[in-house]
């Protein structure tokens, strides 16, 4: 963890790095109409100053404000899960600091339209090696299909370690990460589900 922090900390305060990372991620998502990433104004930016488009949105955790704006929080959660699945499993590059301060919801311009997710602060992004990305796809498919042996094999190949290193434990770990979420269609908007997932993670 210390090595990871030492490697990433200088990049997080280098705004040239952040601006370029934002543009790279934006390019990989350019075909989507449900995500907004601020454009960068390079003539007004330096290592210490980053000038970008202003996003006028609602903080993603402000459920009351979302509903007042006619936005369904469950739809936003589904969009967010699909968005990060696309970045990680398809594109192999993702925003690695998605806390609520970096995520906004832009309500639709007219009734019946679809809300968009706005993402800021690209100081921490990650590129996934293609081999590992393929392993993640195999693991996700095995969890959805409820194939314990395939989950075990995939997680072992990826270097996961658990306390007792058996098939049941690996399958429980896979379920804790993705199982109920993927099959329920409720994404991570269900607080009771998230509490159960956190309890499972502590047991494996």
Question: Where in the sequence numbering do the catalytic residues fall?
Answer: 97
The residues pairing with 35 across neighbouring beta strands, listed in sequence order, are 117
What DSSP letter does each residue of 154-177 carry, written as one string? HHHHTT---SS--HHHHHHHHIII
Q: How far apart are the first and last CA of the chain?
A: 21
Residue owning tokens 């921490």:
124
Q: 13 Cβ partners below 8 Å, 6+ apart?
A: 123
């Amino acid at each position: 963890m210390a090595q990871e922090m030492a490697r990433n900390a200088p990049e997080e305060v280098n705004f040239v790095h952040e601006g370029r990372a934002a543009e790279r991620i934006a390019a990989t998502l350019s075909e989507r109409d449900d995500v907004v990433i601020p454009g960068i104004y390079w003539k007004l930016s330096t290592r210490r100053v980053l000038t970008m488009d202003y996003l006028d949105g609602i903080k993603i955790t402000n459920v009351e404000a979302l509903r007042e704006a006619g936005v369904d929080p469950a739809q936003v959660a589904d969009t967010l899960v699909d968005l990060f699945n696309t970045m990680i499993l398809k594109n192999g590059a993702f925003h690695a600091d998605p806390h609520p301060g970096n995520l906004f919801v832009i309500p639709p311009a007219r009734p019946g339209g679809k809300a968009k997710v706005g993402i800021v602060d690209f100081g921490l992004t990650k590129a996934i090696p293609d081999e590992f990305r393929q392993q993640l796809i195999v693991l996700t498919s095995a969890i959805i299909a409820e194939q314990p042996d395939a989950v075990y094999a995939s997680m072992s190949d990826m270097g996961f370690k658990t306390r007792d290193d058996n098939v049941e434990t690996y399958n429980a770990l896979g379920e804790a990460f993705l199982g109920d979420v993927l099959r329920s269609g409720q994404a991570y908007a269900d607080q009771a589900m998230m509490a159960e997932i956190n309890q499972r993670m502590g047991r494996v």
